[in-house]
């Protein structure tokens, strides 16, 4: 159960102060033109615990492009609608390759290694396009339900920006389709995929949304089960092993929590039965993860003594 003797706010303040004056390493993502416009010095953190308390510092209420963090939400929705059938089309192994690798797909005959690399997320997108008349509305409805915040939305400018440079993603969906692992039109799948990546949320929004993964699939203060305990266990296991592309081992080693990163500079992590925490800092390390975000979460698990290991 949640620990009452940890002063999370004091710990977050300490993390914010420790990193305030340190030089920032990493580069803001530039291959999506809109992301390149985000100031590199943005930095915020928000922790939401299972007692319903919020702790934060910095730019934690400013919305940013969640990018690949959205893959956790689409996976959740796909597991709700098709259950274990999903695993016939996408694997559950770490990739060890960059998130947009094409060579791996060839070796694996069109079955993506896991749902958090781009190819896997596109198969998940295809599942949602098949199962919902309006998959974009269904995804937003799911987010609105688990957060209670109906202002969360896509950023059409970012979605258009993704499309303008989406050559590799076009190649990937076509390649998946050639193996028979995409049922819908390439355009429909990519339209959904570019929109899911463009969702704009703050650290606070994300911690609020991810609390279901720390709370057996339930929203805080409600007995309503959005996901089963078994589904949450699977989603968290995949975050632990696959949530950071080819740096998942490093994140497990340094931080020790299930989590998911996005090239917008956000990282969300959960400690089952304790909290969900989000940190945002746009400059990315060479593997595509927020450099300051990873360092901040390492400090959090070190200072609290809470990791899952």
Is 118 annotated in some ligand binding site? yes
**126 vs 107: CA distance, rounded Å:** 21
Secondary structure of residue 181 in the 3-state scheme: coil
C-alpha dihedral over 84, 85, 88, 92, to 10 degrees?
Answer: -30
CA distances to 38, 144, 269 from 199, rounded to whole Å, are 15, 12, 18
Torsion of CA 191, 37, 276, 197, to 10 degrees: 10
162 is in an annotated binding site: yes
Report which DSSP code applies to 33: G
Q: Within 13 Å of residue 36, how many CA atoms lie on the same side as its CB?
A: 7
Q: Among 57, 46, 62, 49, which Cα is nearest to 16's? A: 57
Judge whether 174 is annotated as a binding position.
Answer: no
193 among annotated binding-site residues: yes
Which residues partner with 259 through β-bridges? 269
* Long-range CB contact pairs, 37-41, < 8 A, 24+: 38/64, 38/65, 38/264, 38/265, 38/282, 39/282, 40/282, 40/283
Q: Which of 180, 194, 171, 211 is nearest to 49 (CA)?
A: 211
Please provide the distance, in angstroms rounded to a whole number, between the alpha carbons at the two ends of the chain: 16
Q: Is 68 annotated as a binding residue?
A: yes
* Residues tagged in the binding site annotation: 68, 118, 162, 169, 193, 245, 263
* Residues tagged in the binding site annotation for substrate: 68, 118, 162, 169, 193, 245, 263
């Amino acid at each position: 159960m949640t620990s009452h003797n940890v002063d999370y706010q004091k710990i977050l303040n300490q993390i914010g102060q420790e990193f305030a004056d340190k030089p920032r390493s990493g580069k803001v993502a530039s291959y999506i033109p809109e992301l390149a416009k985000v100031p590199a010095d943005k930095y915020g953190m928000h922790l939401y615990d299972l007692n319903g308390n919020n702790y934060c510092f910095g730019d934690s209420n400013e919305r940013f492009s969640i990018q690949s963090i959205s893959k956790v939400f689409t996976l959740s929705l796909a597991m709700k609608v098709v259950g274990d059938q999903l695993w016939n089309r996408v694997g559950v192994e770490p990739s060890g390759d960059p998130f947009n690798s094409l060579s791996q797909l060839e070796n694996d005959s069109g079955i993506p290694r896991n749902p958090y690399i781009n190819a896997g997320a596109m198969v998940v997108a295809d599942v949602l396009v098949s199962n919902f008349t309006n998959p974009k509305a269904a995804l937003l409805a799911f987010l609105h339900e688990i957060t209670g915040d109906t202002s969360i939305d896509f950023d059409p400018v970012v979605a258009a920006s993704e499309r303008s440079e989406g050559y590799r993603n076009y190649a990937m969906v076509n390649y998946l389709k050639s193996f028979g692992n995409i049922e819908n039109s390439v355009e429909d799948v990519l339209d959904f995929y570019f929109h899911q990546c463009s969702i704009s949320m703050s650290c606070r929004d994300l911690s609020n949304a991810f609390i279901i993964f720390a709370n057996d699939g339930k929203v805080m203060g409600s007995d309503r089960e959005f996901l089963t305990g078994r589904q949450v266990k699977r989603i968290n296991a995949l975050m632990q092993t696959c949530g950071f592309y080819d740096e998942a081992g490093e994140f497990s080693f340094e931080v020790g929590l299930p989590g998911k990163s996005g090239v917008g500079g956000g990282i969300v992590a959960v400690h089952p039965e304790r909290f969900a925490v989000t940190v945002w800092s746009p400059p990315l390390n060479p593997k595509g993860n927020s450099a300051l975000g990873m360092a901040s979460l390492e400090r959090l698990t070190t200072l609290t003594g809470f990791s899952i290991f």
